[in-house]
Amino acid sequence: MTDRDQLLTLLDEFRIEVPSWGFADTGTRFGKFFQPAAASTIDEKLADAGIVHRYTGCCPTVAVHVLWDFSVGVDATQTAQIAEKNGVRIGSINPNLFQDQVYKFGSATSPDERAQHHANRHVMDCIAIAKAVKSNLLSLWFADGTNYPGQDDIATRKQRMHGALRQWHDAMPRDMTMLVEYKPFEPGFYHTDIADWGMSYVFAKEAGPRAKVLVDTGHHLPGANIEHIVAFLLDEEMLGGFHFNDRKYADDDLTFGSIDPYAAFRIFHEIRNAADIHKRDVSKIAYMIDQSHNLKPKIEAMIQTATTAQ
């Protein structure tokens, strides 16, 4: 097999996951903007995802957001069957640990024990849903943080997070991976409990062997060298996956490559180096899209990001 044939084989094998929430009406913290063709139910989201996969051939799975997609009365097994009818499968399971009123001061790290218990029940329910739809990825992002100095003890919050992640890690099936995401700010104006890749690394390492770091390409401050972070985590065998988007500042959720089109090459270059030069296993990296578009048509924008990643 020639080098060109090997490259084409790698391209054919490449898979990237689309997010269900990327097909629904979204907006900013100031309001929601409506599109006539936006999906309003999980059935419609899966149908849209099926169209993206039909045109790209590289998006066979759909990330789902529990509460938005699996509200009370929604049958998880039936949802998996609807996905299959549209030519896709349910992918990563994303708990919602930020929307309920009890999370005003955080979820896993909240000083309010009711919030901690509420978060624990929700994540346990998410693990049960993952089992029902045969998903092997639990993707965690936390809005936990504080808005003022002295609002809560930072080290105590860190210890609460350690305890929660260990508990959830031990509750997962042995073939499931926990992905721990980070974000430099928002909505915690003073401090965010998992603010960068180093904190995510420590939390994942302490949680257990099936916990890894999730790199969202938008969740970085301006000037951050994302491919350096990727190379470091790959060498440590702690890179679990990506959320692909682009940003001018941090988490702008723009189409991948729209701000820095060369970033995709630099990131994938480090992944190939890890595999070909440093003999690291890159086969289990989860490639996922995380973006919601208010201006671009949603299906077309998702196709654009998927083909950029390809």
| Domain segments of the chain as ranges | 95-216
Distance in angstroms (rounded) separating the CA atoms of residues 192 and 143: 7
pLDDT in tens, 69-126: 987 667 899 999 999 999 999 999 999 999 999 999 999 999 999 999 999 999 999 9
Chain mean pLDDT for the chain: 95
Q: For 190-215, what is the mean pLDDT?
A: 98
Q: For 128-146, what is the mean pLDDT?
A: 97
What residues are paired with 26 via a beta bridge?
33
Give the CA angle between residues 182, 130, 41 to the nearest 5°.
Answer: 85
158 has a pLDDT exceeding 70: yes
pLDDT in tens, 30-83: 788 888 889 999 999 999 999 999 999 999 999 999 988 987 667 899 999 999
Distance in angstroms (rounded) separating the CA atoms of residues 201 and 206: 9
Rg of the chain over all Cα atoms, to the nearest angstrom:
19
Q: Looking at beta carbons, which pairs linking 161-164 to residues 24 or more positions away fall under 8 Å?
A: 161/108, 161/109, 161/193, 161/194, 161/203, 162/203, 162/206, 162/207, 164/108, 164/109, 164/116, 164/119, 164/120, 164/123
212 has a pLDDT exceeding 90: yes
pLDDT in tens, 264-290: 999 999 999 999 999 999 999 999 999
- Which residue reads 């029940």 in tokens? 121
Phi, psi of 255 (to 5 degrees): -55, 135
Pick from 250, 244, 258: nearest CA to 287: 244
Q: For 159-171, what is the mean pLDDT?
A: 98
Helix, strand, coil percentages in the chain from 3-state DSSP, rounded to 5: 40, 15, 40
Identify residue 133 by its one-letter amino acid code: V
The correct answer on CATH 3.40.718.10 for the domain covering 95-216 is no
Distance in angstroms (rounded) separating the CA atoms of residues 268 and 275: 11
